[in-house]
C-alpha cells in the first residue's frame, strides 16, 4: 500500500511553462480575467475555481491579485486539478498569474 | 475515469491527518475529491494576510491546496463564510468549546454540505482525517456518532485513521474499502501518523502547532464577542478581518481602536484606513492605529496617547501625534500613556 511520493517541495513549481515574453502577450489576449485584488487567501483561488468551471478546455485565464501567496497556491491548485500553470508576471503592486484550462479528462487518463 | 470506480469526497484541511486519509483512500483505489471549507476563521489565512505585506519571496501557502498537489488529488475550496457565522458560530445547537468554537455544529455543517455534493455529483461516501480521542469536543465516540447522524451520512462517513476501532461503515461492509487496510489510531499522539507519513513518502506537511482555526482561541473569542455585542450580528467582513490583527481597545460603546503590533500588521492595517480614523507618529517609529466608530475629542486624544505608548517615543514627556479623521488631518501633542493598568481596563 505504500505509494512513495517525491519529496520535492512545491515551492519549486512556481515558474510556469511559458516565458515572460509569452505571458506579456497574453495580458491582452487571455480569454478570462479574474480580478482578485484586495482579496486574500483563499479568495483568489475560489474566484479562479469559479471562473474555471465556466471555461472551455484550452482557454486561458489571467488572475490579477495582490496576495503574493497566489504564486504558490495557483500552481498547487493547477497540479491538483490538472490545469496548466503558465506563469506569473510581477507588477509593482500586484501579480498577474496565467492558467490554461485543462482538456476534459477521458477514461484513459485515469 | 471508469464508471465502476468508487468515488469518495474527503474533507481536507491540509493537515497531516486529512492528507494521510486521502492518501490511504487513493492507495486503496478510491477516486478522491478533496473538499476544503473556507470558514473565514482560518489561522493560516492570517499568516497570509501578514506575510503578504512585506515578504513576497516567502508567502504562506494554502495547506489544503498544497496537500492536493502533493497527492495529485483535486481539491475544491468550498466557500461557506456567508452562512457559517450566522448559522454555525452564532447559534450552535451543541454549544461552544474552550473559546467560541462550535466544533460539533461546525463538523455537522461541513458534512451536510459534503452530503449535498455527494448527492449532486454521484459520489459514494465521505471520509475525514478524524482520529478518535484526538480532540476533546468533537472527536469522542458519542459526538462522532451524533455528527454522522445529524449530517445525514449514517454509514457513509468513513474515518480511515480510526476505522478499526469504530463500527464498520457501508464502504467497509460492501467491500469498497478493505477494513483490514485501515487503521485503529486513538488519542492525541502523533507517532503513528508520522510513521505513516514516512511510509507514504509525505515529507512536507504542516506541524500541528496551535490549531488551524481562530475560534477556540480565547483572545480571539473575546474580540469576536465584543464585536458582536457592539455591532450586532450583521458584522462587516472587514471588521471580521481586522479581528485577526493588532491590539484592540474599546474606548466607548461605539468606539474601538486597533493598534498594529509590528510592521507587517501596520502594513495590513494601512489597507483598511479608508473610511476609518487613524493615528500615527511622524517623529518616532510608531504603530498605525485605526479608529472604528465616531470618536469624541477625548477619545481621539486617548487614541493618540495609546499610540504614543507603543511608539519609540514612549519615554518622552510629550510627543506630537498625527491623526486623520473624516477627511481632516491634524496633530496633537500628548503624554504617552504610562500606566498599563489603564490599558488593561479597556483591552478587549
Ligand atoms: S476548530 Fe474551528 S474549524 Fe475545527 S471543528 Fe472547531 S470550529 Fe470547526
Question: What Cα–Cα distance (Å) separates residue A22 from each residue in A73, A99, B40?
Answer: 22, 13, 36
ipTM of this complex:
0.85
User: Which of B157, B167, B175, B181 shows the shortest CA–CA distance to B8?
Assistant: B157
Work out the angle between the directed axes of helices A43-54 and A70-81 (0-180°, nearest 10). Answer: 40
Q: What is the pLDDT along chain B (348 residues), one digit of tens a residue?
A: 446 899 999 999 999 999 999 999 999 999 999 999 999 888 776 776 676 444 455 557 888 999 999 999 999 999 999 899 989 999 899 999 989 999 999 999 999 999 999 999 999 999 999 999 998 778 899 999 999 999 999 999 999 999 999 999 999 999 999 999 999 999 999 999 999 999 999 988 877 655 678 899 999 999 999 999 998 888 887 888 899 899 999 999 999 999 999 998 999 899 899 999 999 999 999 999 999 999 999 999 999 999 999 999 999 999 999 999 999 999 999 999 988 889 999 999
Domain boundaries, chain B: 7-200, 245-346
Domain spanning B7-200 has what CATH number? 3.40.50.620
The grid coordinates listed for A30 are 487571455
Instruction: State whether the beta carbon of B134 lies less than 6 angstroms from ligand 1.
Output: no
CB-based burial label for B38 (10 Å; 0-12, 13-18, 19+)? buried
For ligand 1, mutation pick of B100, B147, B208, B216 (most atoms within 8 Å of CB): B216
Cα(A28)–Cα(B150) distance, integer angstroms: 50
Strand order in the sheet with A95-100: A32-35, A60-65, A95-100, A84-90
Cα of B287 vs its chain's centroid, Å: 25
Preferred mutation among B12, B18, B77, B242 to probe A, highest tally of A CBs within 10 A: B77
CB contact under 8 A, A72 and B2: no
Write the CA distances from B6 to B25, B160, B164, B324, integer angstroms: 10, 15, 20, 61
- For ligand 1, the distance from its centroid to the CA atom of residue B198, given in whole angstroms, is 27
**Helix count and strand count (H, E) for chain A:** 3, 4
Q: Which of residues 35-74 of A touch B (CB under 8 A)?
A: 38, 40-42, 45-46, 49, 66-69, 71-73
Amino acid at each position: 500500500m505504500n505509494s512513495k511520493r517525491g519529496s520535492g517541495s512545491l515551492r519549486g513549481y512556481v515558474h510556469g511553462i511559458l516565458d515572460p515574453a509569452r505571458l506579456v502577450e497574453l495580458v491582452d489576449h487571455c480569454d478570462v480575467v479574474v480580478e482578485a485584488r484586495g482579496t486574500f487567501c483563499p479568495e483568489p483561488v475560489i474566484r479562479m475555481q469559479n471562473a474555471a468551471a465556466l471555461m472551455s478546455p484550452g482557454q486561458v485565464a489571467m488572475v490579477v491579485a495582490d496576495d503574493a501567496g497566489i504564486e504558490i497556491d495557483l500552481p498547487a491548485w493547477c497540479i491538483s486539478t490538472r490545469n496548466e500553470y503558465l506563469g506569473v508576471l510581477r507588477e509593482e503592486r500586484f501579480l498577474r498569474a496565467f492558467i490554461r484550462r485543462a482538456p476534459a479528462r477521458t477514461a484513459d487518463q485515469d | 475515469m471508469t464508471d465502476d470506480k468508487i468515488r469518495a469526497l474527503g474533507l481536507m484541511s491540509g493537515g497531516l491527518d486529512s492528507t494521510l486519509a486521502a492518501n490511504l483512500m487513493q492507495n486503496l483505489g478510491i477516486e478522491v475529491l478533496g473538499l476544503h471549507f473556507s470558514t473565514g476563521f482560518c489561522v493560516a489565512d492570517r499568516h497570509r494576510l501578514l506575510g503578504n505585506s512585506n515578504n513576497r519571496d516567502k508567502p504562506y501557502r494554502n495547506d489544503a491546496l498544497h496537500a492536493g498537489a502533493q497527492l495529485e488529488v483535486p481539491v475544491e475550496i468550498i466557500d461557506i463564510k456567508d452562512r457559517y457565522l450566522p448559522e454555525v458560530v452564532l447559534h450552535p445547537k451543541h454549544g461552544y468549546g474552550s473559546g467560541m468554537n462550535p466544533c460539533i455544529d461546525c463538523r455537522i455543517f461541513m458534512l451536510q454540505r459534503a452530503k449535498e455534493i455527494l448527492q449532486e455529483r454521484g459520489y459514494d461516501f465521505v471520509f475525514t482525517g478524524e482520529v478518535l480521542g484526538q480532540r476533546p469536543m468533537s472527536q469522542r465516540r458519542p459526538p462522532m456518532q451524533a455528527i454522522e447522524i445529524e449530517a445525514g451520512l449514517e454509514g457513509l462517513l468513513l474515518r480511515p485513521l480510526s476505522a478499526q476501532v469504530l463500527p464498520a461503515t457501508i464502504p467497509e461492509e460492501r467491500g469498497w474499502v478493505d477494513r483490514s487496510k485501515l487503521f485503529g489510531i486513538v488519542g492525541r499522539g502523533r507517532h503513528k501518523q508520522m510513521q505513516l507519513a514516512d511510509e507514504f513518502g509525505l515529507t512536507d506537511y504542516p506541524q500541528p502547532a496551535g490549531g488551524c482555526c481562530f475560534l477556540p482561541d480565547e483572545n480571539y473569542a473575546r474580540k469576536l464577542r465584543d464585536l458582536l455585542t457592539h455591532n450586532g450580528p450583521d458584522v462587516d467582513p472587514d471588521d471580521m478581518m481586522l479581528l485577526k490583527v493588532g491590539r484592540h481597545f474599546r474606548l466607548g460603546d461605539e468606539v474601538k481602536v486597533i493598534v498594529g503590533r509590528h510592521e507587517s500588521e501596520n502594513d495590513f492595517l494601512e489597507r483598511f484606513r479608508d473610511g476609518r480614523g487613524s493615528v500615527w507618529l511622524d517623529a518616532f517609529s510608531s504603530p498605525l492605529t485605526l479608529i472604528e466608530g465616531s470618536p469624541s475629542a477625548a477619545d481621539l486624544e486617548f487614541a493618540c496617547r495609546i499610540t504614543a505608548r507603543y511608539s519609540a517615543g514612549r519615554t518622552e514627556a510629550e510627543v506630537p501625534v498625527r491623526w486623520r479623521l473624516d477627511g481632516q488631518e491634524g496633530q496633537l501633542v500628548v503624554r504617552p500613556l504610562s500606566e498599563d493598568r489603564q490599558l488593561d481596563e479597556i483591552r478587549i
